[in-house]
Amino acid sequence: MKLFVEFPSLCKRFLCITAFFLCCVEDPVTVDDYSPPVVFTGLINGAYDSLGGNSQWRNSCMMVEDTLRMFFFSNEFWEKNKVRDGDLIRIDIFPKTDSTENDTFLTNGRVLFHMARYLSTNTTYNISRNDKQSKVEMVVNKMNLVSGGEVEFSDIIIQTAPLIGGGMLEVTEARIKGVIE
């Protein structure tokens, strides 16, 4: 008989706790069918990572005049009160300056690379065009520079010292695959 008396009391507690969480959770969970237009995968300092972005921090791949600009965010990237956590990469690929440049292999001469790692410590990396101290290399598998055009880069290697914080950056066995928005 005691079980029947306690059951309504347990139900009331459950309903009160559920109502509290539904009303008071600061960041409610949302469902989003986010599908990134472009994804970066590879080894970053020896650890495999896939930067696919998320519904709040979306990857992008677009033409800005004659330059291909790509932004990549780690899957769990977030920002709250100007505090960030995760990885952010920006890559710009500039057009050929003359007909002698290679169309299937890109280096520092046509690539600008920026990475910010907001982890236990903040670290920023930047490789300007023609930077002689750092290294950017990638094989061009596909690069159709129009809206809806496919892009695919493989065998990406990036090596550079930090501008701020952390240690050397080494990206190997990396790949970019996607579509220009």
Give me the pLDDT at residue 9, please. 55
Q: Nearest to residue 154, comparing CAs of 173, 168, 132?
A: 173
Give me the pLDDT at residue 18, please. 42
What pTM was estimated for this model as a whole? 0.81
- How do residues 124-169 score in pLDDT, each as one tens digit? 999 999 899 999 999 999 999 999 999 999 999 999 999 999 999 9
If residue 71 lies in a helix (H) or strand (E), which one and from where to where?
strand 67-73
Give me the pLDDT at residue 96, please. 82
What residue type is 3 in one-letter code? L
Beta bridge partners of 137: 107, 157
Give me the pLDDT at residue 2, please. 52
- How do residues 79-124 score in pLDDT, each as one tens digit? 999 899 999 999 999 988 777 778 899 999 999 999 999 988 899 9
- How do residues 13-31 score in pLDDT, each as one tens digit? 544 444 443 343 344 344 4
Confidence category of residue 8, pLDDT binned at 50, 70, 90? low
- The number of residues making up the chain comes to 181
Gap between the Cα atoms of 32 and 34, Å rounded:
5
